[in-house]
Amino acid sequence: METSDRPGRLAVGVLGAGRVGSVLGAALAQAGHSVVAAAGVSDASRDRAGQRLGVGISQPDDVIRRADLVLLTVPDDVLPGLVSGLAAAGVDLRGKMLVHTSGAYGLGVLEPATAVGALPFAIHPVMTFTGRDDDLRRIVGCAFGVTAPEPLRPVAEALVIEMGGEPAWIADEDRALYHAALAGAANHMVTLIAESQELLKKIGVEHPGRMLGPLLGAALDNALRLGLAGLTGPVVRGDAGTVRKHVDALILAAPEAADAYVALARLTADRALAAGLLKPEAAERLLDALGGNSWT
């Protein structure tokens, strides 16, 4: 049986045919659903709608009218206004499956639409989207943070599986903390690596990425396999003198990065102390080297 002939195939609309919306829409199309309309405001969105989804750009109310399932793939700050605006404008949302992909928001942001009959879903892919063609391949096997009313949970999980993902149930009240954990790891990692590359460039390292690659690959593997037990470096060794040298060098070369280094070194030492990887006396020496007041 062809995928398009399977029972339960849906007409899919995309409000926000950007990096995320175009990929998830394409993934649903690969599963046999039919993308019928998309909305977007930028030239890039128009291009993605045509190239990835095979549709032109329509008005939001037309997208909703034609679709059974609507992907609300807009920036977080735009999402509340979009939902409330659709509800206030009297757009017929009865029975429409509204799927937002924000990690930070749960079901509350969809309440204006739910109140007029929409079916709410929060389905967040735990993946970065660059706009490149390999984004579609990269969501295969990745986790999706799923939140939906209990009766709709099987539907939400089935949609994720059809897109090639692995559903992970997130309680509605835990969405903000869930997203903070993800953003803190992924986004701040990029910032830290970019900062390290800049520092290495300053001292003449020609290919800092090549230097950092094996080290960071090993560190990430250790962290994911071993957790805090995979921690290495001067903090967990209690090398207060080395840590102080780091701080002094950063104050001179990149003072904007020194505060971040100190904050992360304190957090690392605190976690290592709690895990029994660092002795209290070594932690005190590190605290002095970092110029702090007290462990919390």
Task: Map out the domains of the chain as residue ranges.
Answer: 3-170, 178-290
pLDDT of residue 150: 97
CATH top class, domain 178-290: mainly alpha
Distances (CA, A) of 282 to 65, 229, 286: 65, 17, 6
d(CA 255, CA 247): 9
Options 3.40.718.10, 3.90.1150.10, 3.90.330.10, 3.40.50.720; CATH for 3-170 is 3.40.50.720
Average pLDDT rounded to a whole number, residues 130-143: 90
pTM to 2 decimal places? 0.86
pLDDT of residue 6: 55
Quote the Cα angle for 30-172-147, to 5°. 15
pLDDT of residue 293: 42
DSSP state of 57: B
Instruction: Tell me if residue 1 falls in helix, strand or coil.
Output: coil
Query: CB-based contacts of 141: which residues, under 8 Å, 6+ apart?
Result: 164, 165, 166
Average pLDDT rounded to a whole number, residues 92-115: 97
d(CA 2, CA 32): 8
Give exposure, 30-44, as e/b (b: 16+ Cβ within 10 Å). ebbbebbbbbbeeee
Residues 94, 87: contact at Cβ < 8 Å?
Answer: no
The band of 2, judged by pLDDT with boundaries at 50, 70 and 90, is very low
Residues 144, 160: contact at Cβ < 8 Å?
Answer: yes
The band of 5, judged by pLDDT with boundaries at 50, 70 and 90, is low
Residue 18's closest CA among 62, 99, 72?
A: 72
Ranking 39-48, 118-127, 194-203, 221-230 by mean pLDDT, the lowest is 39-48
Per-residue model confidence as pLDDT tens digits over 60-86: 999 999 999 999 999 999 999 999 999
pLDDT of residue 41: 87
d(CA 78, CA 196): 33
Ranking 3-7, 47-51, 60-64, 283-287 by mean pLDDT, the lowest is 3-7
Instruction: Please state whether 227 falls in left (phi above 0), alpha (psi between -120 and 50) or beta.
Output: left
Residue 4 reports pLDDT greater than 70: no
Instruction: Tell me if residue 80 falls in helix, strand or coil.
Output: helix
Q: What is the mean pLDDT of the chain?
A: 93
Residue 233 reports pLDDT greater than 50: yes
Instruction: Tell me if residue 143 falls in helix, strand or coil.
Output: strand
d(CA 95, CA 185): 37
Residue 296 reports pLDDT greater than 70: no
Residues 145, 124: contact at Cβ < 8 Å?
Answer: yes
CB atoms within 10 A of CB 50: 15
**DSSP characters over 88-108:** HTT---TT-EEEE--SS--SG
Average pLDDT rounded to a whole number, residues 128-156: 93
Scan for tokens 């803190």, then name that residue.
184
The band of 133, judged by pLDDT with boundaries at 50, 70 and 90, is confident
CA dihedral 256, 262, 263, 264 (to 10 degrees): 100
Residue 22 reports pLDDT greater than 60: yes
d(CA 198, CA 208): 8
pLDDT over 70 for what percent of the chain?
96
The band of 292, judged by pLDDT with boundaries at 50, 70 and 90, is low
Query: CB-based contacts of 104: which residues, under 8 Å, 6+ apart?
Result: 76, 175, 176, 179
